[in-house]
Every structure is written in C-alpha cells, then in structure tokens.
Structure 1
Amino acid sequence: MRVGFIGAGRMGRPMVARLVEAGHDVRVVGRTDEQRRSLELVGARPVSDAAQAGARADVVLVCVFTDDQVRQVCLDGPLLATMPPGSTLAVHTTASPSTIEAIAARAGDVGVVDAPVSGGPHDIAAGRLTLFVGGTDEAVARVRPVLGCYGDPVLHVGPLGAGQKVKLVNNALFAGHIGLLAESIRLGERLGVPESTLLNALPHGSATSRVLDIVAAGGSIAAFVEVAGEFVGKDVAVARGVAAELGSDLGALDEVIGRVGPLASNTGRV
C-alpha cells in the first residue's frame, strides 16, 4: 500500500521501519535534515509536509504527541483535502473523542478510524503493540493490513471514537495503578522496608501487576515517572477533560493519581 505517515518520533519512527519492512511504500514527514536522513536509512521517502504525505496515499497514519497537534494536522491544515477519495486516515495519538468526530465530519469521502496504542517502541519493534481501534467495519478492514505490521492485537472495539474511549479508560486505570503503587511504597518505607526491596519482592506475590513489573524493571517510581510521566500525564489530562464534558470526574481514580505529583499536575487541552 501507499502509506503517508505524520509524526515519526519516539513511537512513529519504529512504526515506519516496520511498514517499510513489510513492503509498503511509505512517505513520511521529516522536519529536519537529520530526521530525513534517518528516515531514508530505514527505506522511507521523506516529504516536507502533511499534504505531500497524504497525496496519492491509500492510508495516512497520524502519530503526533497531543490532541492539539492532531487538530492542527487534520483540521487546520490541508491534509484531508489532499487525500484521495476512498483512502483512510488512522489516528494513533491519544485524543479526545470529540476531536475524532470533528475530523470525520470534515473528511468527506475519506474514511476515518481512531487507533490509539498501548505499549512502547520495544513493542512496535517486536510487532506486538496493542491497538484499540474505533470505526466502521469497512474502514477498519482497509487499514488492518497496515496496522498489523506493528500491532498485535489489533482490537476493533466499536464505532468511531470507541478506540479513544477505551484508551482513556486504560490510561486512567494505568495511572491509578501507579498511584496505588506509590502509596504502597510509602507504606513499606514507614514500616522500614526500602523501595528496592519491595520492588524485588512484590512481583512474586499476589499484588503483582504490569505496572509493578514495569516500575520494578526501572528501579523506582521516580525513575519510571522521569521516563514516562509526561506521556501518561498528558493522556490523564485528556481523560479528565472528557469526564468534565460529561459533568463528572475520574472519581477514586483521580484521588490515587493525585498521589503521583507529575501525573496530577500535567494539564492538556481537550
């Protein structure tokens, strides 16, 4: 397939590499000379802007960082107008469901799916990234051969916007687990048990979880937050904003998330 790609950063670049390895013709936006050289090394075709990535593409993938950036690329720029009728746009960024709805309303004959991801660059390289996909059966079927280059499982979770909703619940719960772990570490320290001892022991007990395994591999809560706090925090901000639109909040999840300062203070637009 002819694939356009926007957002070849920490997550996007390994996706591009997997797409090229699978034989797709990938045109990817490269903002700097260094980035363009790096993309050429994996066999992609660097282009200067989103319009060039979208022109003549069968599928365009958007993997920028924030909801605001999704809106800038898909609503404020010429991308949708340059995509051929019958092509499909897939948004990997964790964004507000209302943003996805606005894109679909503007898309005309271009199909739209939301496909936020769970995992990291190592999961992409191994082809085992989890994707929560929302959209019509037809649109999801069109993009599945592309998403399957780096995604397994590729979970079709419902209509357009459902992928974002599942991802927001996933990340709110993930952040809540971090908050619970942080409180548990504080309890252990009050009992005279060092964090390092707890992180070595607890993964072998009934309290184990994916969050505990990830934090234990990094050595401490602080080390995890330093690496991933910005990513988790901006998604929590989106979840809070969506809950506020519904006249609610994250309830008990918000309380435990608040135990991890960098996640609690992160803000973002919805």
Structure 2
Amino acid sequence: MRIGFIGAGRMGAPMVRRLVGAGHEVRALGRSGDARRRVTELGADPVSFTAAVGTEAAAVVVCVFTDDQVRAVCLDTPLLASMPGGSVLIVHTTGSPRTAEDLATQAATRDIRVVDAPVSGGPPDIDAGTLTLFVGGTEDAVTRARPVLECYGGPVLPVGPVGSGQRVKLVNNALFAAQLGLITEAVRLATRLGIDEATLLSALQHASGASRAAATVAAKGSVTAFNASVGEFIRKDVAAVRALAAELGATMGTLDSAISAQFPDTERKS
C-alpha cells in the first residue's frame, strides 16, 4: 500500500519505520534537508510538499503536535485535493473533536474517508506494535485505516463516529492527569511522614495503590523527572479537555481539582 505521512517526529518516526518494515511504500514530508535525510534513514521516500504526500496514496497519516497544526496541514494546503477518491485520512494528533468533524465534512466532498485515531502510549509501544488507538469514524473508514493502524497499534479500538476517538482520548488523559495529581499529593504526604519519594514509588508498585500512572512516574524516578519528560504533552491535552468541557457545558468536578495538584500552571477552562 502507498501511504503518505506528515509528522515523522518523536512519535511519527517509529510509526514510519514500522510501516516500511511491514512492506508499505511510504512517502513522508520533510521540509528541510535534515528532515528529508531523517526520512530516508527510516526507509521512506522524502517529499517536500504536502501535495506529494497525498498523490496516489491509499492512506495519509497526520501525526503533528497541535490541533492548529492539523488544521493548517489538512485545510490550508493542497493535501485533500491531492488525495484520490476512496483513500483515508488518519489523524493521530490529540485535539478537538470539532477538527476531526470539520475534516470529515471537507473530505467527504472528495470521497475521502477520515478517522481520528489519537494514541495512548509512547515510542517503545510503537516499536513493539502495542500502541493503543482510540479510533473514531464510520465502519468503512475504520476498515480502510486498519491495515495501517495495525502496523504499530494494538489494540485498535473503534469507539464511535468521527470525533469519538478524540473524546475518549481526552477523557482518558483527564483521568491520567488527575491520577498524576493524586500521586503528587501522595509524595508530599510521604515526605512529611519521613518517607523519601523513590522508596514510596517503588513500594506502591506492589500494593493496592499501584496504577499505570504511578508506574510511569516511578520509571522516571520522580514527579519532577516525569514532568520534565512528558509534562508538555500532558499540559496540551489538559488544556484541550478543559476547552472541550467548557464548549459542551460539561463540568470536570474533582478531576479538575486533582489535575491542578500536578499542573497548577495549566489554564482552567471549566
């Protein structure tokens, strides 16, 4: 299958590597000489323009950082116009469900399917083919996207119509961020009780207080080290879920209070 790819960075690069390894012909966008060289090292064909990414592609994958970048790449360039009818656009970026819905509306005029497929996991999960994918889209769109997604994802979880993947991912990330906030408070309590952070995090892995969030923090060594590693990504997603809740008139309740213990500098939207 010919696959176009935009966003071959921290998450996108191992996806491209897995796609190439599965035998797909991958064209990946690289605007600079260094970017094109990195694409070549992944085994893909580097292209300089978005139109070249979509030309004759059965699927195009977008894995950029922000929702605004998704809109810019997909709506402000010739990408959709270059994609053939019957192809599928796969968006991995976590953002607003409205963006996915707007893309689907625009793409439908050209007989292009759209799935929003935000992810849970990181580069090691991609390398292992075990990245969790929350997929929103019609049954036909998901069917067309599945051969791509299964190259680096498992489980691939259809969760409803287009935009649903974003909704599930944002709730997931709100819960994860809230758990991180509780872990921050637990570490503060342990410190006051004379227990150092590393000892607490290690002990929790063998007790009823264990969780994936606690294990993730423990793997980094401390709350501070975790924030330095992936705090930027969590803050982006927290802002997105707060904005969505405000837009839909929903309240986050105690989730929001717990999140603020870990990310007090993230603007509250609800």
Bin for the TM-score computed over the shorter chain:
over 0.9
Deviation at residue 268 of structure 1 after TM alignment = 11
Partners in 2 of 1:267 and 1:114 — Cα distance?
Answer: 25
Classify 1:70/1:268 alpha carbon distance in 2 versus 1 (closer, same or farther; 3 Å): farther
**What is residue 147 of structure 2 aligned with on the other side?**
145
Residues 200-241 of structure 1: per-residue CA shift (max 9 Å, x gap):
111111100001111111110000010000001101111000
**What is residue 197 of structure 1 aligned with on the other side?**
199
**What is residue 186 of structure 2 aligned with on the other side?**
184
The percent of aligned pairs where both chains have the same amino acid is 61
Deviation at residue 250 of structure 1 after TM alignment = 1.9
Partners in 1 of 2:114 and 2:268 — Cα distance?
Answer: 24
Partners in 2 of 1:75 and 1:37 — Cα distance?
Answer: 27
Classify 1:148/1:182 alpha carbon distance in 2 versus 1 (closer, same or farther; 3 Å): same
Residues 68-120 of structure 1: per-residue CA shift (max 9 Å, x gap):
10111111221111111111101000010001111111112110011000000
Deviation at residue 267 of structure 1 after TM alignment = 5.5
Deviation at residue 17 of structure 1 after TM alignment = 0.3
Contact preservation (8 Å) 1:116, 1:133:
yes
Contact preservation (8 Å) 1:129, 1:152:
yes
Where does the alignment leave 5 or more consecutive residues of structure 2 unmatched? none
Return the letter of the residue paired with 1:23: G
Question: Secondary structure of the residue that 1:26 maps to in structure 2?
Answer: strand
- Runs of 4+ in structure 1 over 3 Å off: 266-269
Question: Secondary structure of the residue that 1:259 maps to in structure 2?
Answer: helix
Deviation at residue 57 of structure 1 after TM alignment = 0.5
TM-score (norm 1): 0.96
Contact preservation (8 Å) 1:230, 1:266:
no
Return the letter of the residue paired with 1:235: D
Partners in 2 of 1:158 and 1:8 — Cα distance?
Answer: 27
Partners in 1 of 2:171 and 2:164 — Cα distance?
Answer: 11
**What is residue 250 of structure 2 aligned with on the other side?**
248
**What is residue 170 of structure 2 aligned with on the other side?**
168
**What is residue 37 of structure 1 aligned with on the other side?**
37
Partners in 2 of 1:86 and 1:144 — Cα distance?
Answer: 14
Contact preservation (8 Å) 2:3, 2:59:
yes
| 1:258 has 2:260 as partner | yes
Return the letter of the residue paired with 2:48: S
Give the superposed CA RMSD. Answer: 1.3
TM-score (norm 2): 0.96
Where does the alignment leave 5 or more consecutive residues of structure 1 unmatched? none
Aligned pairs, how many? 267
**What is residue 73 of structure 1 aligned with on the other side?**
73
Question: Secondary structure of the residue that 1:43 maps to in structure 2?
Answer: coil
